[in-house]
Amino acid sequence: MEKITQRLFSWASILDPKTRAQAETASTMPFIYPHLALMPDAHLGKGATVGSVIPTLGAIIPAAVGVDIGCGMIAVKTPYAESDLPADRRALRTAIEKAIPLSAGNYNGRVTRDHTQARLDELASDAEQAGFEPASYAASWTLQLGTLGSGNHFIEVSLDEDDQVWLFLHSGSRGVGNKIAQRHIAVAQELCKKWWIDLPDLDLAYLAEGTDEFWTYIRELRWAQKFALLNREEMMDRVVACFADWMGVETVDRLEEINCHHNYTSKEKHFGKDVWLSRKGAIDASAGTMGLIPGSMGTRSYVVVGKGNPVALNSSPHGAGRAYSRSAARKAFTLDDLRTAMGDIEYRDTAAFIDEIPAAYKDIDVVMQDSVDLVEIRHTLRQIVNVKGD
């Protein structure tokens, strides 16, 4: 841990100057209490650094939550070992790709699954209680549940240190969550301009607690966080069904299941005060809390348990964190580089994934070493099947 300033502590041994400067700027906002915590995977973000934990009193910065509200991970441990698996892994990958719409803008057709409709009904009821209509943000929101998206979102079949099979995926609140986030970031910017508030960065615009705008954001934020959680559950149900078909069995027992956000806000108590804690690219690592830290495409992921480090605000990293921007990665690496990095992992061989090559991310081994005071590793997972959207 490095104490950068009185209001900024960092666990990142790999930290470029621009990211450091951005975090320092965010930590100067007057309502930060007691300090901002920078995680080992920290990298440059919009307004607030990705991989930062931001506790606030009486205000929230919408950009400090991020535009993919509720983005996170879900993992299921199965009773099967590698030796139980069929040889044709491509068949499982293509089945998952048919069951779950991939890439930005790709959604479900007509809803036919009972579990999908039940979740949609729950979300519609929650939105009514929150006093807003999700269709005002995205007319197709009901078709977005159970869809993956693109970028660093993925679905994987992995093996742990005992060759036990895990199903693992990463996604968030999709287009509807993004529209909700963008709207409230804009509202915060408009209000700060109206109130003549001088901001060090426009994307650090905030909403003051007690205003209608603040509570509207909280209600819609919580809805989007639930959408993201249920979206991961929905996709996992479909992945489990595909896996069962591939294995030739009726059902698959879930020996363990973990579902956690890493872009969200919650009310928590830290250093004696109730704060709004925004984790932007960080997970809850309270003592005894299970969490998931993925590497990158082709590298290891981790099942962890939190140690409850108070200075880190009971948090830990959410993944490897980018070392190259997407455009820089495309200039630095080739399709052959990606093929070499992926080895014998079953994946869709396409140049669309070059910017997701493992070398575009921080070394996950360094990130986990930096996290030794934050989490304990329970399982180390290596992929055998990878599914991504363009």
Enzyme catalytic residues: 318
Helices 89-99 and 212-247, interaxial angle, to 10°?
A: 140
Look-up of token digits 């879900």: 74
Q: Which amino acid is at 122?
A: E
Under 8 Å between Cβ of 263 and 70: yes
Under 8 Å between Cβ of 17 and 235: no
- What angle is formed at CA 348 by the lines to CA 344 and CA 354, rounded to 5 degrees? 90
Under 8 Å between Cβ of 89 and 385: yes
Look-up of token digits 């928590």: 268
- Reported in sequence order, the residue ranges of the chain that DSSP labels E, i.e. its strands, are 2-5, 8-10, 36-43, 50-56, 59-60, 72-81, 154-159, 164-171, 207-208, 256-261, 263-270, 273-280, 282-284, 290-293, 301-306, 315-317, 375-387
Q: How does DSSP assign 101-112, residue by residue?
A: --STT----S--
Helices 212-247 and 174-194, interaxial angle, to 10°?
A: 160
Peptide bond between residue 310 and the one before it cis (omega within 30 degrees of 0) = no
Distance of alpha carbon 301 from the chain centroid: 13
Of the candidates 232, 165, 233, 172, the residue with the CA atom closest to the CA atom of residue 379: 165
Give the C-alpha separation, 218 to 353, whole Å.
35
- Region label for 244, one of left (φ > 0), alpha (ψ between -120 and 50) or beta (otherwise): alpha
Give the C-alpha separation, 236 to 247, whole Å.
16
